[in-house]
Chain A
């Protein structure tokens, strides 16, 4: 299943046996309790505002603003790969895909997945499509495989603290972070889990942190105590 067929067209990749269309988990908008407005003295910013609201292109050649279109008010899992990767990246995408399936089967609240290339100088949207397709993940409606500019990619990694302290190591894309960042922008609660963790545990942790499951919302911490 994992062989790459470079002769497949973009259309075939998106619609053929490589992809697995699933029922949309949501219409793309967050459906949940209204955001709690920080009261009193508190104006603590949402953590996602530390990321650049940069233009990203996905594997379908659509363009988005990273924060305002993809993250703002959403429950999100962010993964990081580069398509020539022979290390952790196939696992990262595979585990995200299986977690997506687990969450869908559990009828979890709407969520999104975003896979970001850490090698934007070489990865094109086509490469991302191929990566998504060979990992049978190209057809998920709420999962974008995106590329940003090299500068923006570094800014994203910096914002998410996915930068190796050693600059030499950091420039070596093969040692990039295998951490999945997951959270709920509306509640401003975020966490991380290694992408090597079992898919069911990725789904579980996401449920607990982003309240994708049946438990109550994590209220914004900036609020005054009531």
Chain B
């Protein structure tokens, strides 16, 4: 049976490769799509005991995070580390006297001609309930009670403080802004906790690394997402709803919008005025739609199936988009921008349109690409974002589907692409007319966002990381994650070459590196596919694969982590800690010899009073 199925795959695969730039370029990994998992181990849990009629509910569009007044003020003595109000304090970089010099990063607001004022928000981890499946109530965790969380709207050079409250009585949490460039204190290091019923002020200066004193336009992110990153509980928390989008614009993207190469990110009237919600928040633009994909599995009581003993990776049998199983979306016959996010723990998607129409991919992970890539399907693995334009203008009155053709029966890796067995994810119902008040935009033909190539010659350090499985547990270079150990001591300003190796035949690992974008140089010695040639914040390390990448470390000091973004693997300690050290300011205390050495105290306690760390050492490792 396997043999027969493989043959089918091979035939269709050829067509598939011909049709898509992606597959051809992914040649390094494509062969692994074709192998099928042994049936005996295909069971990822009992089937969800509910049936429902798909495409009866509209795609929910997450609301925007509303502005808030923070009292006491961030950075004040009443909101310092150890204070009753904000126990975990705020990043040292928030202090105007800090070497970071936060004022120097603030840009001018083009609408007022004055420096951007600091934006303030409140984000609360809380229990909630939602109908992921119509009529079935499911207990979840939600940021401000919604799943996905409210979309954070950010602007380059506009500083932001998000006061995060953990109202879950159950667990320590840590908020990670994925694909962002943030201070260590605010980066969601797994041990930079927000304790139950405590608060932490996350300082997001929303900056890009500087080149010659100016922020590098090539490094500005567009589509970030935020999710929980608490030590040991990331997989559980993300599966239960703790994820949301963060959309950032800069002058370049705003010009693209103004010149009608992209639709409005925010809801505006025909005259271009912002339309605010009652709570003062901006709202999602009409033709710019975020879509977070998850796969879920349910118990008979409506709660999510969760196997705490599963360290392979959770695979669901119900597909949700923005917290709704198989929704429909009414669209006009025109172009739309979709920010697609794989918020699944272990599932890999290959998405295509049911009518065979191509899509234009304009961004990978956080960043817009230098040029649009026409593709007939999208490769979306855990944590990846694909920024995509779909043109419905020739489909007036028709219905098409966004389909997943990747089959996957366990958390280890996908079984392969099966174009004959598509799973419909979203139904697009195309109307007959378009709203003429909002003219269509054109797919950008020129440079969207420039990319500055990092060359191998710039690298002064090469590091090798082997991802492997040992006696049923996950290791990097033969070690488990340990908050007390510095695995990579990095000098700020350095260009490093990292070689990620997965010698196993059975497992895939999406490797996410915090704080900086990296540039994939090669996959098994070959050039990466087009969409991976520029900037990524994670790289899928397929089986028997070696990936070489280049990255620069800039702006921020301190401990950051890199890890497998199959969150079940991450929780089983497939993670490492890097310490970025500023040689200019730290001098002799910043030796290269800390690689692999032990700290006497964990470096991962930022924002927790020292006394507490001493009396609760167990929390920080």
Identity of the chain A residue whose Cβ is nearest the Cβ of B43 in the assembled complex: A158
A43 touches B169 (CB 8 A): no
Q: Which 7 pairs show the lowest CB-CB distances between chains A and B?
A: A178-B471, A177-B472, A204-B618, A190-B308, A225-B127, A194-B473, A207-B618
Q: Shortest distance in angstroms between A134's beta carbon and chain B's nearest beta carbon?
A: 21
A41 touches B301 (CB 8 A): yes
B139 touches A176 (CB 8 A): no
Q: Which residues of B contact A88 (CB under 8 A)?
A: 471
> Residue-by-residue, is B227-241 near A (CB-CB < 8 Å gives 1, otherwise 0)?
000011100000010
Q: Is there a chain B Cβ closer than 8 Å to A164's Cβ? A: yes
> Residue-by-residue, is A193-223 near B (CB-CB < 8 Å gives 1, otherwise 0)?
1111110110111011100011110110111
A191 touches B308 (CB 8 A): yes
Taking Cβ atoms with an 8 Å cutoff, the residues of B that contact A are 37-38, 40-41, 126-129, 137, 139, 169-172, 196, 231-233, 240, 299-303, 306-312, 410, 412, 470-475, 480, 482, 506, 571-573, 616-621
A41 touches B137 (CB 8 A): yes
With A164-B472, A183-B308, A208-B231 as contacts: A213 and B618 at CB distance below 8 Å: yes
Q: Shortest distance in angstroms between B93's beta carbon and chain A's nearest beta carbon?
A: 28
With A194-B480, A225-B128 as contacts: A208 and B618 at CB distance below 8 Å: yes
A181 to B310, CA, bound (A): 11
Task: Name the contact of A47 in the complex, choosing from B231, B301, B309, B573 (C-beta under 8 A).
Answer: B309
Q: Which residues of B contact A94 (CB under 8 A)?
A: none
A81 to B309, CA, bound (A): 18
Q: Shortest distance in angstroms between B599's beta carbon and chain A's nearest beta carbon?
A: 13
**Which of A208, A215, A223, A226 counts the most chain B CB atoms within 10 A?**
A208
Q: Which residues of B contact A208 (CB under 8 A)?
A: 172, 231-232, 618-619
Q: Is there a chain B Cβ closer than 8 Å to A16's Cβ? A: no
A191 to B620, CA, bound (A): 16
A204 touches B196 (CB 8 A): no
Task: Name the contact of B571 in the complex, choosing from A178, A191, A198, A214 (C-beta under 8 A).
Answer: A191
A222 touches B471 (CB 8 A): no
A68 to B196, CA, bound (A): 32
A41 touches B232 (CB 8 A): no
Q: Which residues of A contact B482 (CB under 8 A)?
A: 197-198, 201
Q: Shortest distance in angstroms between B460's beta carbon and chain A's nearest beta carbon?
A: 32
Q: Shortest distance in angstroms between A74's beta carbon and chain B's nearest beta carbon?
A: 15
Q: Is there a chain B Cβ closer than 8 Å to A15's Cβ? A: no
A208 to B170, CA, bound (A): 10
A43 to B506, CA, bound (A): 35
A161 touches B312 (CB 8 A): yes
Q: Is there a chain B Cβ closer than 8 Å to A42's Cβ? A: yes
Task: Name the contact of A178 in the complex, choosing from B171, B306, B307, B472 (C-beta under 8 A).
Answer: B472
Restricting to A136-187, which residues have a CB under 8 Å from any CB of B? 159-167, 175-179, 181, 183
Task: Name the contact of A192 in the complex, choosing from B41, B303, B473, B616 (C-beta under 8 A).
Answer: B473
With A43-B300, A88-B471, A204-B618 as contacts: A216 and B480 at CB distance below 8 Å: no
Q: Shortest distance in angstroms between B338's beta carbon and chain A's nearest beta carbon?
A: 31
18 A–B contacts from the bound complex (CB under 8 Å)? A43-B299, A47-B309, A161-B312, A162-B472, A165-B38, A165-B412, A167-B40, A175-B471, A176-B471, A188-B308, A192-B309, A193-B480, A194-B474, A194-B475, A194-B573, A204-B620, A205-B232, A216-B169
B471 touches A194 (CB 8 A): yes
Q: Shortest distance in angstroms between B316's beta carbon and chain A's nearest beta carbon?
A: 16
A161 to B126, CA, bound (A): 30
Q: Total number of A-B contacts with CB less than 8 angstroms?
A: 141
Q: Is there a chain B Cβ closer than 8 Å to A59's Cβ? A: no
A225 touches B307 (CB 8 A): no
With A161-B309, A204-B617 as contacts: A179 and B472 at CB distance below 8 Å: yes
A165 touches B41 (CB 8 A): yes
Q: Which residues of A contact B126 (CB under 8 A)?
A: 225
Q: Which residues of B contact A194 (CB under 8 A)?
A: 470-471, 473-475, 480, 572-573
A49 to B233, CA, bound (A): 21
Q: Which residues of A contact B506 (CB under 8 A)?
A: 165-166
A222 to B170, CA, bound (A): 12
Q: Shortest distance in angstroms between A84's beta carbon and chain B's nearest beta carbon?
A: 16
Q: Is there a chain B Cβ closer than 8 Å to A44's Cβ? A: yes
A160 to B312, CA, bound (A): 12
B301 touches A44 (CB 8 A): yes
Q: Which residues of B contact A216 (CB under 8 A)?
A: 169, 196
With A178-B471, A183-B308, A209-B232 as contacts: A201 and B302 at CB distance below 8 Å: no
A43 to B312, CA, bound (A): 25
A44 touches B471 (CB 8 A): no
Q: Which residues of B contact A163 (CB under 8 A)?
A: 41
Q: Which residues of A contact B572 (CB under 8 A)?
A: 179, 192-194
A77 to B617, CA, bound (A): 19
Task: Name the contact of A218 in the complex, choosing from B171, B619, B621 (C-beta under 8 A).
Answer: B171
Task: Name the contact of A225 in the complex, choosing from B38, B129, B311, B621 (C-beta under 8 A).
Answer: B129
A223 to B169, CA, bound (A): 12
Q: Shortest distance in angstroms between A181's beta carbon and chain B's nearest beta carbon?
A: 6
Q: Shortest distance in angstroms between A163's beta carbon and chain B's nearest beta carbon?
A: 8
A226 to B145, CA, bound (A): 12
A81 to B41, CA, bound (A): 23
Task: Name the contact of A161 in the complex, choosing from B171, B310, B480, B619 (C-beta under 8 A).
Answer: B310
Q: Shortest distance in angstroms between B315's beta carbon and chain A's nearest beta carbon?
A: 13
Q: Which residues of A contact B196 (CB under 8 A)?
A: 215-216
Identity of the chain A residue whose Cβ is nearest the Cβ of B232 in the assembled complex: A191
B170 touches A219 (CB 8 A): yes
Q: Is there a chain B Cβ closer than 8 Å to A75's Cβ? A: no
Q: Shortest distance in angstroms between A77's beta carbon and chain B's nearest beta carbon?
A: 14
Task: Name the contact of B311 in the complex, choosing from A41, A42, A192, A205 (C-beta under 8 A).
Answer: A192
With A197-B573, A204-B618, A222-B139 as contacts: A41 and B302 at CB distance below 8 Å: yes
* Further contacts, 15 of them, CB under 8 A, given A178-B470, A208-B232: A42-B302, A50-B307, A161-B310, A161-B312, A162-B309, A165-B410, A166-B506, A178-B472, A179-B572, A191-B232, A194-B474, A194-B573, A204-B619, A223-B139, A225-B127
